[in-house]
Amino acid sequence: MSAAGLFVTFEGIDGSGKSTQARMLADHLRQSGHDVLLTREPGGSPGAEDIRALVLEGEPDRWSAETELLLFTAARRDHLERTINPALAEGKIVICDRFADSTRVYQGVSRGNLRSQVDKLHNLMIGREPDLTLLIDMDPGAGLERALSRGTGEERFESFGTGLQERMRQGFLDLAGEFPDRITIVDGTGGIEDVAADIQRIATDRLT
Ligand code: ADP
Ligand code: TYD
């Protein structure tokens, strides 16, 4: 646990249920009397939301993997300065839908082979890990079907297809091996309520 507050992130491939589960955990913890801030990346502050539009809309080859890495890191820095750190300093539980593990996997492994640059930029500009990361793991075919069914127009990444999603799934599982104390794998294939119950149990254990 941080000096103040608790920083929880959700990670996983597109459509694995991160936003749904982040919202449900936030509701559950609020009902239990906690002060919770629910946020997301890319985005979570006005400047970072502007960067989100740049990076998620348009053609798949709009940015190189290197430029994407800079844009995601710029958005994260703004989000940390203006949203996450102030909330943690006030003692809140911050629940964030995606954070630096997404960069390690998307820019570091699947979109480009940039893991060493990802780590250098992270150390230089972010330097913060979550207290707890819930990795929702599931079959990419099913995840992609769920993600495309949303029809939000933010499908630049989903349009890369299932081969890439398969590499990302493995990339996330490898990260769970790299950071075993921080990352807990959650099976995302069950019904929404079942997955939520697993997550509530893990988060409650972490809080006590
Ligand atoms: P992510 O944020 O990981 O992309 P979402 O939470 O937006 O995923 O979920 C993608 C879609 O799948 C949504 O339409 C959501 O209602 C649905 N969904 C989420 N979790 C489940 C689940 N466990 N079973 C079936 N559908 C789900
Ligand atoms: P988002 O709407 O969070 O994804 P989801 O479809 O899972 O709800 O969109 C974020 C997209 O941006 C997603 O495809 C992953 C990608 N991304 C990166 O490539 N690097 C990053 O650092 C982050 C935070 C996201």
- 183-187 and 36-40 strand pairing: unpaired
pLDDT-based confidence at residue 152 (cuts at 50, 70, 90) = low
Ligand 1 atom at shortest distance from the alpha carbon of 10 = 3
Helix (H, G, I), strand (E, B) or coil at 6: strand
> Over 60: is that where the pLDDT of 2 sits?
no
Distance CA 168, CA 176 (A): 12
Residue nearest to atom 23 of ligand 2 (CA): 102
For ligand 1, whether the C-beta of 79 sits within 6 Å is no
Stated pTM of the model: 0.93
Mean pLDDT of 189-202: 97
pLDDT tens-digit map of 71-128: 999 999 999 999 999 999 999 999 999 999 999 999 998 877 899 999 999 999 999 9
Q: According to the model, what pLDDT value does residue 72 have?
A: 98
> How much is the pLDDT for 1?
44
Whether the CB-CB separation of 143 and 13 falls below 8 Å is answered with yes
- Domains of the chain (ranges, CATH numbers): 6-207 (3.40.50.300)
